[in-house]
A and B are shown apart, each in its own frame.
Chain A
Amino acid sequence: MTIYGVALLAFCFLVGKITGTLLGAAIGIDGDVGGVGFAMILLVAGNTWLKHRGGLPPATAGGILFWSAMYIPIIVAMAAVQNVKAALSGGWLALLAGTAATVAGLLLVPVLSRIGRPDLPQPRADD
């Protein structure tokens, strides 16, 4: 049943959020440290485990895949409710600091991507 998938997703989400909040409290932050990340790892691990046992029934998986497909529309809605005026009101300092920090991060992507990439040196034969 579709609701089983939605419930499973909600379970992973809440367990992750609770883990993140407890971790935050443990290190003295009023907030959630990596809650979404823990939830994702839980879902990926659970999904991999189930795959070896025949996988989720299609209707159940559908309950999760629906929300996965709703992701981009949700991002569009999120873009429409951003405080874009604040981004401009901070003046040149905010514009410069935000842009420079982003550009630096983007430029570091190819440098750090070399770490631990097993398939980089030799050409791949299988695809």
Chain B
Amino acid sequence: MIELVENVLIKNGLLFAFLCVGVVMWAAFWVSRNVLGGKIPGVALAIIAGLALAFLGDKKGLADIPLFAGLALLGGSMLRDFAVVATAMGADLDKIKTAGLAGVVALGLGILSAFFIGVGVAFAMGYADAVSLTTIGAGACTYIVGPVTGSALGASSEVIAISIAAGVVKTIVTTVATPLLARFIGLDNPHSAVVFGGLIGTTSGVAAGLAATDPKLVPYGALTATFYTGLGCLLCPSVLYLLLDWIMA
């Protein structure tokens, strides 16, 4: 009988995912209000619970378990991007316009700072060839820029794995640290959210971090972050690689 019930849940995976997320969010908000006295926002708690649950699975997190495969559809890039675009309904065109220049500067500086920090750490840990250094630096941008750059330059699979891992670490650190540090870095208005999105760039991390800080800021951060990965894929395997190749030689 249990098998029959399980089959129904697997067949209707997306709907079961709605139920699961609803339960997780209800529990997170309950704990936030009644146990933590509202000190940690319910949204932040729910996202951390999601990350913790992902340890039960493997590459696709909890979705590796067939019963929870529907979560991969609900949390996949199609519905995520669709919902991110929908948040733009609450965005103010004038605020985006005034933050435009700051956002563009943030994008450039965000990619350069992440790249050279990644390169610096890799160099300190013993990597000395331009291809590996560039790939790991690209991974410090986002977990998509890393493997795209690595495969374009012909990096080893070990180095590509490290670059993906660095990008995933960035996403998770952003998700957890943003609500905690938001006050100290003045992240409480649309203007700084546009800058934040451009500097950090990992769309999932920026979106999750801002959602946990103040959901009203999500569209502003997501707007700039969405350009980051594309720009990184453009700059890392070309200009930045040539620059490193020249420095190392």
> Which A residues are closer than 8 A to B by beta carbons?
9-10, 12-13, 16-17, 20, 23-24, 27-29, 31-37, 39-41, 43-45, 47-48, 61, 64-68, 70-110, 112-118
Complex alpha-carbon distance, A67 and B226, angstroms: 18
Q: Are B169 and A98 touching (Cβ within 8 A)?
A: yes
Q: Are B230 and A24 touching (Cβ within 8 A)?
A: yes
Complex alpha-carbon distance, A101 and B167, angstroms: 9
Which residues of chain B have C-beta atoms less than 8 A from A87's C-beta? 165, 168-169, 172
Judge whether B122 is part of the interface by a CB distance below 8 angstroms: yes
Q: A72-B211, A109-B185 in contact; A115/B102 too (CB < 8 A)?
A: yes
Complex alpha-carbon distance, A70 and B85, angstroms: 12
The CB with the most chain B CB atoms within 10 A, among A9, A45, A84, A108, is that of A84
Q: A82-B54, A112-B106 in contact; A106/B181 too (CB < 8 A)?
A: yes
Within 8 A of A (CB), among B195-227: 195-196, 198-201, 203-205, 207-208, 211, 215, 218-219, 222-224, 226-227
Q: Are A80 and B61 touching (Cβ within 8 A)?
A: yes
Which residues of chain B have C-beta atoms less than 8 A from A16's C-beta? 85
Which residues of chain B have C-beta atoms less than 8 A from A29's C-beta? 148, 230, 233-234
Q: Are A90 and B80 touching (Cβ within 8 A)?
A: no
Complex alpha-carbon distance, A68 and B110, angstroms: 27
B17, B47, B136, B199: which contacts A79 (Cβ < 8 A)? B47
Mark B45-80 against chain A: 1 for CB-CB distance below 8 A, else 0.
011111101110111111100001001101110011
Mark B160-171 against chain A: 1 for CB-CB distance below 8 A, else 0.
011111111111
Which residues of chain A have C-beta atoms less than 8 A from B181's C-beta? 106
Nearest chain-A residue to B84 (Cβ)?
A36
Q: Are A108 and B121 touching (Cβ within 8 A)?
A: no
Q: Tell me the interface secondary structure of chain B in the complex.
A: helix
Within 8 A of A (CB), among B143-190: 144, 148, 161-175, 177-178, 181, 185-187
Q: A94-B162, A112-B105 in contact; A9/B86 too (CB < 8 A)?
A: yes
Judge whether B98 is part of the interface by a CB distance below 8 angstroms: yes
B115 to chain A, nearest CB (A): 8
Which residues of chain A have C-beta atoms less than 8 A from B8's C-beta? none
Complex alpha-carbon distance, A66 and B68, angstroms: 24
Q: Are A75 and B208 touching (Cβ within 8 A)?
A: yes
Q: A44-B93, A83-B59, A84-B51 in contact; A98/B170 too (CB < 8 A)?
A: yes
B91, B171, B227: which contacts A34 (Cβ < 8 A)? B227
Q: Are A81 and B88 touching (Cβ within 8 A)?
A: no
Which residues of chain B have C-beta atoms less than 8 A from A75's C-beta? 47, 50, 75, 80, 204, 207-208, 211
Q: Are B226 and A105 touching (Cβ within 8 A)?
A: no
Complex alpha-carbon distance, A81 and B208, angstroms: 13
Q: Are A31 and B203 touching (Cβ within 8 A)?
A: no
Mark B86-126 against chain A: 1 for CB-CB distance below 8 A, else 0.
11111101001011111001100110011001100110010
Q: Are B200 and A105 touching (Cβ within 8 A)?
A: yes
B52 to chain A, nearest CB (A): 8
